[in-house]
Amino acid sequence: MKLVPVDPNDFVRLKKTKNLELIDSFIASGHAMVRLDGADKEYKTADSCVAALNASIKRFSKSGLIKAAMINGEAYLINLTKISDGGDKDVESTES
């Protein structure tokens, strides 16, 4: 038996989609959170847009970086690396 090198692109067929372009441009923008205007025009509902984006985020291995969410009926992209949970803020001690 011998090892024969092959090009992985011959087997992995992840085509670039409009969602991947949107995800990559959001990551490159540096924003912590953005609202997606027109989500209900490209998709039937904002909820289906969020579901499709989350599937694309998982498919293209961006799960730890960003997340799509529905807030008050609108679709949002959230950069998880830029959002703080509020627990690491510096608190000044008030000594008297």
pTM of the model: 0.70
In tens, the pLDDT along 44-92 reads: 898 999 999 999 999 889 998 999 999 999 999 999 998 876 544 444 4
Contacts 24+ apart (CB under 8 A), 76-82: 76/33, 76/34, 76/35, 76/36, 77/22, 77/23, 77/26, 77/33, 77/34, 77/36, 77/53, 78/32, 78/33, 79/26, 79/27, 79/30, 79/31, 79/32, 79/33, 82/30, 82/31, 82/32, 82/33
pLDDT tens digit sequence for 31-43: 999 999 987 788 8
Render pLDDT for 7-27 as a digit per residue (tens, 0 to 9): 766 665 555 678 888 999 999
What pLDDT band is residue 28 in, cutting at 50, 70 and 90?
very high
